[in-house]
Structure 1
Amino acid sequence: MISKLNLENILFLDIETVPEVQHFSDLDTTKQELWELKSQYQRKDEFTAEAFYERAGIWAEFGKIICISVGYFTFQGDIRTFRTTSFYGDEVKILKDFKNLLISHFSQAKHLLCAHNGKEFDFPYIARRMIINKIELPYKLNLFGKKPWEVPHLDTLELWKFGDYKNYTSLKLLTNVLGIPSPKDDIDGSEVYRVYYEENEIDRIINYCEKDTIAVAQIFLRLRGDSILSKDEIIHI
Structure 2
Amino acid sequence: MDIKDKLKYYRQSAAEEVKAKQIDIHLVNLTELLHGTLIEKETLPVILIESYQAYTPDESEYLAQKKSNIFIPLLTKNQFTKPIPLSDILIFDLETTGLAGGTGTYPFLIGFGLFEAGGIRTRQYFLPDFGREISAYLDMRSMLKNTSVLLTYNGKSFDYPLIRNRMIMNRVDNPFEAHAHLDLLHPARRLWKNTLSSCSLDNIEEEIFLFGRWKDIDGALIPSAYFDFLQTGVSEKIELIISHNQQDIFSLARLLLYMDQTESGEYGYPRSVSEVSAILDLAVSTANFDKIASLMIEFTQRQRKVPASTLMAYSLLLKRHDQWPKAVGIWEVLLNRGEEILFSFEELAKYYEHRKKHHEKALEYTNRAIQYIDFINELKEDAKLDEYRQIFTHRLWRLNTKIESR
- The TM-score bracket by the shorter chain reads 0.5 to 0.7
TM-score (normalised: structure 2): 0.39
Aligned 1:179-194 pairs, distance under 5 A: 179=209, 181-183=211-213, 185-194=215-224
- TM-aligned CA deviation for residue 74 of structure 1: 1.0
**Percent identity of paired positions between Structure 1 and Structure 2:** 25
Read off the aligned partner of 2:95 and give its amino acid letter. Answer: E
Retained in 2: the 8 A contact 1:157–1:169?
Answer: yes
Q: What is the aligned partner in structure 2 of residue 129 from structure 1? A: 166
Q: Whose relative contact order is higher, 1 or 2, with alpha carbons under 8 Å and at least 6 apart?
A: 1
1:176 corresponds, among 195, 206, 218, to: 206
User: Residue 111 of structure 2: SS of its match in structure 1?
Assistant: strand
Aligned residue number for residue 26 of structure 1: none
2:113 maps to 71
Structure 1 segment 82-93 matched on structure 2, within 5 A? 82-89=120-127, 90=129, 93=132
The C-alpha deviation readout for 1:176-211, integer Å capped at 9, x for no partner, is 222153457411211112321225432221111111
Matching of residue 114 in structure 1 with residue 114 in structure 2:
no
2:95 is aligned with 1:16: yes
Q: Give the Cα separation in 2 of the matches to 1:11 and 1:91.
A: 25
Corresponding residue SS for 1:63: coil
- In the alignment, the residues of structure 2 paired with residue 208 and residue 224 of structure 1 have an alpha-carbon distance, to the nearest angstrom, of 24
* Structure 1 residue ranges (4+ consecutive) displaced by more than 3 angstroms after TM superposition: 90-96, 180-185
1:2 counterpart residue number: 72
Q: CA deviation at 1:164?
A: 9.8
CA contact (8 A) 1:184 1:208 kept: no
* Corresponding residue for residue 97 of structure 1: 136
Distance (whole Å) between structure 2 residues aligned to residue 209 and residue 185 of structure 1? 13
- Secondary structure of 2:116 counterpart: strand
Shift of 1:174: 1.7
Contact 2:89 2:149 (8 Å CA) reproduced: yes
The code of the aligned residue for 1:88 comes to: F
1:69–1:209 contact (8 Å) kept in structure 2: yes
The normalised TM-score by structure 1 is 0.63
- Which amino acid in the other structure matches residue 87 of structure 1? Y
Greater strand share, 1 or 2? 1
CA RMSD, Structure 1 to Structure 2 (Å): 3.0
User: Is the contact between residue 172 and residue 184 of structure 1 (CA under 8 Å) also seen in structure 2?
Assistant: no
In the TM superposition, what is the alpha-carbon distance from 1:141 to its structure 2 partner?
3.2
Partner residue in 2 for 1:47 = none
Higher Cα Rg, which structure:
2
Where structure 2 has 5 or more consecutive residues not aligned to the other structure, the ranges are 1-70, 74-82, 263-268, 270-406
Structure having the larger proportion of residues in helix: 2
SS at match of 1:97: helix
Q: How many residues of Structure 1 are paired with residues of Structure 2 in the alignment?
A: 175
Contact 1:70 / 1:213 at 8 angstroms: preserved in 2? yes
Q: Secondary structure at the match of 1:117?
A: coil
Q: Could you tell me which runs of 5 or more consecutive residues in structure 1 were left unpaired when the two chains were aligned.
A: 19-55, 143-150, 228-237
Instruction: Give SS of 1:2's match.
Output: coil
- State how far apart, in whole Å, the 1-side matches of 2:115 and 2:211 are: 19
